[in-house]
Structure 1
Amino acid sequence: MKAKSLSTQIWMWFIGIIVGLCIILSIVFYVTLENFFEEQMYTYIEQEQKQEINSIKITPSYTQKIKPREVVPALPTVPAVPITESVPKHNIIYNTDTISGQKKEKLEPKIKMEIVQQAKTQKIENKRYEKVVEGKKLYYVISKQKIGNETVYVYSYIWENLKKRIISLLRNIFIGILGVILIILIPIRIISKKLTKPLMILEKDMDRIAKRDWNEPICIEGSEEIKDLARSCECMRQQLVNHDEKQQSMLQSISHELKTPIMVIRSYIQAIKDGYYPRGNLDTTLDVIDQEARRLQKKALDLIYITNLEYLSNHKTLEEDIQLQVIIQQVYERLQYERIDINWNLDLDNIVIKGDYEQWKVVFENILQNQIRYSKDKIEVALKADDENIIFRVYNNGPFIEDEQKHKLFNAFEKGSEGQSGLGLNIVKRIVDMYNGKVWVENQKDGVVFYISMPVKN
């Protein structure tokens, strides 16, 4: 099922909230109005009954029939909404159980007898009663009165189907509210579309970026939340542009770096086929081919390793307890014979971290090979830790590094005069970044120092 647009959802949510409020208010109004109308009904009956009692004229024998007063009162307490279409009817119950009152009596004998029994058991002067008869409510008030020397009971009653009137009133209110809703639906629709318009524009921008058309910046006006979202999307676009530019630059660098050894190998092989040896004889010519092949192999392996690091940076890597000083010592023992003229000085603390042994082996191999390549005759290696950071420091007394070059040194295919693939230090930086560390280089008065800093707790 296709999801509804945000403007439609806002529209429907608004309608749902209004309808829900109408239902809740209807229930509250029903209970409140029912109590209010009942109170008004009883007040109306009691006032009519009081006026009726005051108008009764009883003869000394008390046998005169009551002639009801046909009055339609206009009381201030009667609500504006008519709760009844008739006036109360009044009757008197004598001690002889005879009933005098309205001639057109609509009460059944059974109900009359029940009222008589209630009057006899009533202890207070006035009491309200109600009774449901065939779906209609009978409201009546029994009043104990002293007329002459005789105690009589006057009961006044009125019929009213109150629920139907309340429901009718609420229905009219509900219809009125629905009418108002229908009137304001159009502006609500317009407002919802206006609120969602920036999101629709942003959606088109995202579709454009998904198709790699990301040169045009994202700039959307709207609420602060929309602007924040647009800024985040613009930041993502810029990162994609930078990443694409780096990829294009890397591909160009790879093609350039691989082209040279391949051309040398092919040209030397073709020369051998033609019976010509560029290096004087077959052995020295083959040595050049082997050297270029090794160089090509090194570049290919470094590129594969970088690709693996890209994958590992987004996936959980193997973590084990590794001793950094042990790895550095092993790398030193293997590399020290590449240049026997170098004087080494190692100051290593026993530091254990969680990590991947092979990755840190590559880090120290690449960075120490770089030191061997540029050092005159001295290398100092130190591994220390404080409460916050682990610091690896390696010094060589080689030539200074230009300030502009220091910032590019850890980029892919950036290499010095004695560099090989231009990927060694880039691999170092990628691995250190995976462990939330940083790597940098500084010039000293008599050499160069490389630093690796890593938090104690990764």
Structure 2
Amino acid sequence: MSLLKRFGAMVSNSRKNNKKQLSHPKKILQKKRRNLRFKTTLFVQPLTIIIVSFAIILLVFNVLLKLFIAEQAFTAVQNQYDTLDTLYVGDTPETTAEGNIFETTYVIADDSFDIKYISASMYDLSEKKISEKIIDYFSDNDDIEWFDDIDEDDADYSDYQNSLNYFKKVEIDGSAYMIKMQEYPGTLADSYVKQDNNDDSPTYYIFVFANVTPIEELEDYINFILLGLMVIVGIVASISIFLTARKLDRNFGSLKSYILRVGNREKNLPTENFAYREFNEVGQTVERMNDMIDANQRSQQLFFQNSSHELRTPLMSIQGYAEGIKEGVIDAKQAASVIVDESQKMTDLVDDILTLSKMESVQTQLQLEKLNITDLLYDVSWRLKAKADERGITFEHHFDDDYLEIEADEKLLERAFTNILSNAVRYAKTQISISGKLIENQLQITISNDGEAVSEQDQEHLFERFYKGKGGHFGIGLAITKEIVERHKGTITVISNVQETSFIIYLPVK
């Protein structure tokens, strides 16, 4: 393949890759449009969390309160039965100081459900009426099943859970009562039943009940308050979340529009100012990326222009000498020599372009191996000795050790050193100095020449592609050198003064 075809193919592939990269974000955006809307997600998810949280709080509160009411009612009723049981066997009951939110009333009735005793005060007519209605209720509903105390065989069950089964909750005149009944065969001793040994003793039924209506009304009131709070908080949260989601959605839409305009390469875009700092940071990042893309495109455009110019110059020279040979006005040997030189320049330039293209490719891997930098620098300087001798330039080598070993890609480092030394041969007056030494975990390589000083302005652009200083030449040799050194995780700098110009390279030993 000819040099022009190789260069043309490389330019064509580069442009195709750029087009693919520009078209790729559109496909990504099309895929994202099928997903949930940003505004919907911001509104629905927080509101759902709030509603579910309130529902869980309400449910847990009601469950715990009902368990608390049942436990308190059971304790109050059971304490009363403990007292009656103690009196039943003829013992004196102990006074308990345990507090309880419920007060209990008990009623003693015979086997015909005729009331024999009510524990309420003789002046408390309401308690007496309730007691009578409770007895009437159970006499009218004689199919109700009651349970005795827990058997010893059931000891593996929770006492509390089993005891709940012995209670009956009934509604009488709009009030709720927790009631328990136990049988006591014996004789009635005023306010309690006393045990006797007579088998013909009558059986008495003692009903103990507690009014749980006030607590249940309090529960309903608290539920009403909680539901009201949930509705109010839900409405306020919905409005707040909706407004925030709408604001975020508008800002996100503006950011998306701005990114699309940047992606479409619109010029002179005004700086967007969003309501949220994060969006502004994204916008600033997009601006920096846009500037980097513009700089890269300008660099590529300049690169292709300079490459074309560099290729055109030797081509015109070759064409001129070829026409001179054709017309017989130029000596063929002289023309052939010039044509060979110009062809070599074109070959070197295309090789440099291809090398730089490969270096910039992410897929390119360094072929690392252990090598002696001292030998490599001697070899490169020896190959350039002929050109140096033509200009009366001598090489001087100064190494702290004859064996300076590092892990590196030998071909690439050889190319980097060749570029620097070729440049030194071009500008040196009498000598080129090459030195190397170890500094901690780095290898310092210094290549100096006694040529004219490089201006500070030129030093800033010396490693740019095709940069031309005063009296200099277009080229990409130093740009390739910098790329190679940085791929080896090293650095390269230039220091120039009236006495000498030095390129200083640092490479990691490991």
Shift of 1:174: 5.8
Partner of 1:345: 396
Shift of 1:369: 1.0
Partner of 1:29: 61
- The CA distance in 1 between the partners of 2:137 and 2:355, in whole Å, is 111
2:301 is aligned with 1:248:
yes
2:248 is aligned with 1:208:
no
- The CA distance in 2 between the partners of 1:430 and 1:264, in whole Å, is 31
Structure 1 pair 213/325, CA: closer, same or farther in 2 (3 Å)? farther
- Secondary structure (helix, strand or coil) at the match of 1:392 reads strand
TM-score, with structure 1 as normaliser: 0.75
Query: Which of 188, 206, 210 lines up with 1:154 in the alignment?
Result: 206
Shift of 1:299: 1.5
Structure 1 pair 57/427, CA: closer, same or farther in 2 (3 Å)? closer
The letter of the residue matching 1:245 is R
Partner of 2:247: 194
- Secondary structure (helix, strand or coil) at the match of 1:346 reads strand
Query: Which of 456, 467, 478 lines up with 1:414 in the alignment?
Result: 467
Structure 1 pair 57/307, CA: closer, same or farther in 2 (3 Å)? closer
Structure 1 pair 149/316, CA: closer, same or farther in 2 (3 Å)? closer
Structure 1 pair 376/48, CA: closer, same or farther in 2 (3 Å)? closer
- Kept in 2: contact 1:401–1:448 (CA 8 A): yes
Partner of 1:293: 343
- The CA distance in 2 between the partners of 1:260 and 1:440, in whole Å, is 31
- The CA distance in 2 between the partners of 1:244 and 1:291, in whole Å, is 33
- The CA distance in 2 between the partners of 1:446 and 1:285, in whole Å, is 40
2:481 is aligned with 1:428:
yes
Shift of 1:391: 1.1
2:414 is aligned with 1:361:
yes
Shift of 1:169: 8.8
Partner of 1:380: 433
Partner of 2:356: 306
Aligned positions of 1:47-196 closer than 5 A: 49-50=104-105, 65-66=116-117, 101-102=135-136, 105-108=139-142, 111=145, 114=147, 130-131=164-165, 139-141=178-180, 147=190, 151=194, 154-157=206-209, 177=230, 181=234, 184-196=237-249
- The CA distance in 2 between the partners of 1:134 and 1:49, in whole Å, is 14
Shift of 1:134: 10
Shift of 1:178: 5.7
Q: CA RMSD in A?
A: 4.3
The letter of the residue matching 2:449 is N
- Secondary structure (helix, strand or coil) at the match of 1:331 reads helix
Query: Which of 302, 317, 320 lines up with 2:369 in the alignment?
Result: 320
- The CA distance in 2 between the partners of 1:270 and 1:321, in whole Å, is 51
- The CA distance in 2 between the partners of 1:188 and 1:148, in whole Å, is 66
Partner of 1:8: 40
- Kept in 1: contact 2:368–2:408 (CA 8 A): yes
1:173-230 deviation digits (Å, cap 9, x = unpaired): 6697367535643442221121243332222222223333365365333333333333
- Secondary structure (helix, strand or coil) at the match of 1:412 reads coil
The letter of the residue matching 2:332 is L
- The CA distance in 1 between the partners of 2:43 and 2:324, in whole Å, is 80
1:417-457 deviation digits (Å, cap 9, x = unpaired): 77555111111111112223222221244221111123445
- The CA distance in 2 between the partners of 1:89 and 1:336, in whole Å, is 128
- The CA distance in 1 between the partners of 2:285 and 2:488, in whole Å, is 26
Segment drifting more, 34-43 vs 299-308: 34-43
- Kept in 1: contact 2:442–2:507 (CA 8 A): yes
1:40-89 deviation digits (Å, cap 9, x = unpaired): 65699786644x67xx999xxxx97458989557xxxxxxxxxxxx9566
Gaps of 5+ in 1: 74-85, 92-100, 119-126
- Kept in 1: contact 2:255–2:279 (CA 8 A): no
Structure 1 pair 135/323, CA: closer, same or farther in 2 (3 Å)? farther
Shift of 1:331: 0.9
- Secondary structure (helix, strand or coil) at the match of 2:272 reads coil
The letter of the residue matching 2:343 is A
- Secondary structure (helix, strand or coil) at the match of 1:130 reads helix
- Kept in 2: contact 1:68–1:90 (CA 8 A): no
Segment drifting more, 291-300 vs 410-419: 410-419
1:279-299 deviation digits (Å, cap 9, x = unpaired): x42222232233222222222
Percent same amino acid at aligned positions?
21
- The CA distance in 2 between the partners of 1:301 and 1:104, in whole Å, is 109
Structure 1 pair 103/248, CA: closer, same or farther in 2 (3 Å)? closer
- The CA distance in 1 between the partners of 2:48 and 2:431, in whole Å, is 79
- The CA distance in 2 between the partners of 1:72 and 1:226, in whole Å, is 72
Structure 1 pair 167/326, CA: closer, same or farther in 2 (3 Å)? farther
- The CA distance in 1 between the partners of 2:300 and 2:501, in whole Å, is 30
- The CA distance in 1 between the partners of 2:387 and 2:133, in whole Å, is 126
- The CA distance in 2 between the partners of 1:257 and 1:149, in whole Å, is 123
The letter of the residue matching 1:286 is A
2:381 is aligned with 1:332:
yes
Shift of 1:345: 1.5
- Kept in 2: contact 1:90–1:156 (CA 8 A): no
TM-score, with structure 2 as normaliser: 0.68
Shift of 1:303: 1.1
- Kept in 1: contact 2:394–2:430 (CA 8 A): yes
Segment drifting more, 400-409 vs 102-111: 102-111
Aligned residues: 414
